[in-house]
Homo-oligomer: A and B are copies of this chain.
């Protein structure tokens, strides 16, 4: 079970075609076919159905191993390369849309490169060396860590925290309240904007409350569009309070129960000595609103 074989296997699954995978990987179709045949022979199990090309049950299971494995392998490569090259002069950070808040934006050195990525991709980008630091946002209880996929091999530290708010259209019955409990709204019409705001699934898990079923779904990362949808009455959504309060035509009501907040965390590999990445982490580690717990 060579990693090359796993790599072509995942490529075939991703592209749904032997030929396309071959083109992407720079192989012949024949070679790809042989790779898959070798894997299936080695594991004594069919991994793919042909026509249409799709993973079998065993193949799907193998994918769950292969994906993190290949990611980790790339991470190792990148880590060794970094160790040899010394600290980067210029900083590249991977960032989810709502993670770049005031505090972080203020401390980020000028001349940095910022790559906006989805929550699922941040850890991978940092591990593969495509970004020196990753910033993820999400909802979490005050002392819980943010649930970040694939972040096992990375170090995380909190960066910023602020209240969450429910975004309502102006004129909504609740719009005059100053605070709201989330469980009262479990059965409301919700807009799920997983790439922009807080994914409903994450809200459900963190609040440990059932409900929050998506009614309207919006892809993409445009907060203004999300605000417009809410203002037009397509449903409610949850955003960090400072962001929510700036959207026109809507009213933002802070969430007080359960005690969850919008948090940003920084992800990084074990860093070398100097460099702008380490400097930024040190600056971010300074206490701000939330006093650090005594070690």
Residues of A within 8 A of B (CB): 1-3, 43-45, 57-58, 61-62, 64-66, 68-69, 72-73, 75-77, 79-81, 83-84, 152-153, 208, 210, 270, 293-295
CB distance from A85 to the nearest CB of B (A): 10
Complex Cα distance, B43 from A77, in Å, reads 7
Complex Cα distance, B66 from A75, in Å, reads 11
State which of B3, B75, B81 has its C-beta within 8 Å of the C-beta of A65.
Answer: B75
Residues of B within 8 A of A294 (CB): 208
CB distance from A143 to the nearest CB of B (A): 10
If over half of A's interface residues share one DSSP class (helix, strand or loop), that class is named, otherwise mixed; here it is helix
* 13 residue pairs A–B, Cβ–Cβ below 8 Å: A1-B77, A43-B77, A45-B83, A58-B84, A61-B80, A61-B270, A65-B72, A65-B73, A66-B76, A68-B72, A69-B69, A72-B72, A208-B293
State which of B61, B68, B210, B270 has its C-beta within 8 Å of the C-beta of A79.
Answer: B61
Residues of B within 8 A of A2 (CB): 2-3
Contact A44 B76 (CB under 8 A): no
Tallying the copies of this chain within the complex gives: 2
State which of B43, B62, B80, B293 has its C-beta within 8 Å of the C-beta of A43.
Answer: B80
Complex Cα distance, B191 from A166, in Å, reads 52
Residues of B within 8 A of A45 (CB): 80, 83-84
Residues of B within 8 A of A65 (CB): 72-73, 75-76, 79, 153
Contact B66 A69 (CB under 8 A): no
CB distance from A79 to the nearest CB of B (A): 6
Task: Select from chain B the residue with minimum beta-carbon distance to A1.
Answer: B77
Which 5 pairs between the two chains have the least Cβ-Cβ distance? A65-B76, A43-B80, A152-B152, A58-B83, A69-B72
State which of B61, B73, B79, B80 has its C-beta within 8 Å of the C-beta of A83.
Answer: B61
Task: Select from chain B the residue with minimum beta-carbon distance to A68.
Answer: B72
Complex Cα distance, B73 from A73, in Å, reads 11
Residues of B within 8 A of A3 (CB): 2-3
Residues of B within 8 A of A79 (CB): 61-62, 65
Contact A69 B80 (CB under 8 A): no
Complex Cα distance, B43 from A295, in Å, reads 38
Known contacts A2-B3, A3-B2, A83-B45; is-contact A69 B61 (Cβ 8 Å): no
**Most B-side CB within 10 Å, residue of A45, A68, A80:** A80
Complex Cα distance, B3 from A77, in Å, reads 12
Known contacts A2-B3, A73-B1, A295-B210; is-contact A80 B68 (Cβ 8 Å): no
Contact A76 B1 (CB under 8 A): yes
CB distance from A4 to the nearest CB of B (A): 8
